[in-house]
Structure 1
């Protein structure tokens, strides 16, 4: 429980800090600061890629662990997507004059490629410099970029007031389908990879929170499974980033679900950028609930 509070508190404080800061600065300065969200997203993606390279470099059997983790990530992302797609009103299309055909595909494709390029550059940077001397050449922690981004999102949220729709069945359906779909995906992944059932369900319960799932699974099941949990949730986050950039405007609820617990933190700025603005509270509520539920499910499956 303390680990959940310790992880949630900085995020909530950063959101509140951005909102309070907006009271004391001019609207023009606020608009200029909000424009920094996009370049900071690229920095965050680069840093995530750097950490990904570090994780792969530290694994003794990187290929086998990465392939197993990829199977878990794909299935725990795909099954909730399908469950939400079968539900009513799962698709929300942004009411703008988006161009149709090839011209309408190019902008999201370009942004998705930029995101993947930032991740790839981070991985490459680790292998060129960080892996050579083990020092990481002083690259800042991903958390620093994340908290700056959350403050900027808090600035952009200034003036938003909670309303009953935040706690409606339509909103709560997202985390519910993520939990159910992730566990079903974990069962399929256990069958496909031959991993123990309890471990597979624990691997499926991180909901993209790789910094916590790797530690928790590693503590209860050993370092090999801990690394697999970390990679599973890291892959889930990378998949969510790609889906948000490519389909966030047309399938926002499914893309928010793909983000899992990260829709409260690292993918929240991308949700703000790519999904309809009225769905930002959905991402906040869903991410918050999954952040609380995930560790409880992992502990349950790892100790039964």
Structure 2
């Protein structure tokens, strides 16, 4: 466990200690981060192809993904709705013209295409392909280093995080709700509790959860983790404009770790500028928690 934690924390900390301020440098980091996500998912698809009796396992992946997604999203929406009742967040912002939700959903679908491409290549059983799992570990270390740099460049200080009460509280509720949903899904699917908790700790960060769960529990559950977190992002993209009108806490919490990057533009346009600070804090905290919790539970 401790070696796994070090593998996660050292690159994150090392990246966080690298101060980059120039716009060109930050753009390069963002491009490299996107590239590493594609590489990791490609390797994950290759690993999936080497599972014995793959046809029956694909059905199992579908069943696990459906149960985990329903339980985790359901628990999140329930607790976030209760939070909204006790900490009302009145949003009077008039929604701007939103980016096409279909266009925003295309990026996650491209990532599915990378997994499929790796899977199809893996079916060739080329002799060098079994080394893909090792390559994915190195790619993950580079990814975490880049994430650390990106977190530093967000400009968030510890004081700003602690002072943003709303973002911190929503992140705490999302963490508890996700873990409760993961525990319920594990019970329903007759899986060990720690597996359910690990699966629930991705908070929408599909590239990270997919590879970490694959390393810990194999490509079947790793694929479930990927599709479960991918489903969270897709559902958030579709529901944000509607949820903001009735429950801003739910709109923010459903985004998980993506609220500081991918879903942030939609949150801003739907809920106004007041949504931005809590969204960044919320995403920042969950991005820090995700790798640590996944390793602890696996």
For 1:66, which of 53, 61, 65 is the aligned residue? 61
Instruction: Work out whether residues 85 and 91 of structure 1, in 8 Å CA contact, stay in contact via their aligned partners in 2.
Output: no
CA distance in 1, matches of 2:294, 2:41: 23
TM-score in terms of structure 2 length: 0.68
Structure 2 counterparts to residues 116-135 of structure 1, below 5 A: 116-117=109-110, 119-132=111-124, 133-135=126-128
Query: Quick check: 1:34 aligned with 2:18?
Result: no
Instruction: Work out whether residues 213 and 229 of structure 1, in 8 Å CA contact, stay in contact via their aligned partners in 2.
Output: yes
For 2:73, which of 62, 71, 77 is the aligned residue? 77
The more displaced of 131-140 and 169-178 is: 131-140
Change (3 A) 1:284 1:90: farther
Change (3 A) 1:255 1:137: farther
Change (3 A) 1:48 1:12: same
**Secondary structure of 1:21's partner?**
coil
Moved over 6 A (4+): 90-94, 137-140
Tell me the residue number matched to 1:98: 96
CA distance in 2, matches of 1:241, 1:82: 18
CA distance in 2, matches of 1:243, 1:186: 21
Tell me the residue number matched to 2:48: 56
Change (3 A) 1:228 1:122: closer
CA distance in 2, matches of 1:277, 1:51: 34
CA distance in 1, matches of 2:90, 2:154: 21
Query: Quick check: 1:234 aligned with 2:223?
Result: no
Tell me the residue number matched to 1:280: 280
Aligned residues: CA RMSD: 4.0
CA distance in 2, matches of 1:152, 1:187: 35
CA distance in 2, matches of 1:105, 1:80: 25
Tell me the residue number matched to 2:184: 187
Instruction: Work out whether residues 43 and 145 of structure 1, in 8 Å CA contact, stay in contact via their aligned partners in 2.
Output: no
Number of aligned positions between the proteins: 265
Tell me the residue number matched to 2:20: 21
Query: Quick check: 1:86 aligned with 2:87?
Result: no
**Secondary structure of 2:158's partner?**
coil
Q: Which runs of 5+ in 1 are unaligned?
A: 23-29, 219-225, 300-304
Q: Which runs of 5+ in 2 are unaligned?
A: 203-208, 268-274
CA deviation string 1:138-178 (max 9, x = no partner): 986442662464255246424x4332653666414423443
Instruction: Work out whether residues 46 and 120 of structure 2, in 8 Å CA contact, stay in contact via their aligned partners in 1.
Output: no
Tell me the residue number matched to 1:204: 196
Tell me the residue number matched to 1:25: none
TM-score in terms of structure 1 length: 0.67
Q: CA deviation at 1:284?
A: 2.0
CA distance in 2, matches of 1:166, 1:36: 30
Q: CA deviation at 1:182?
A: 3.2
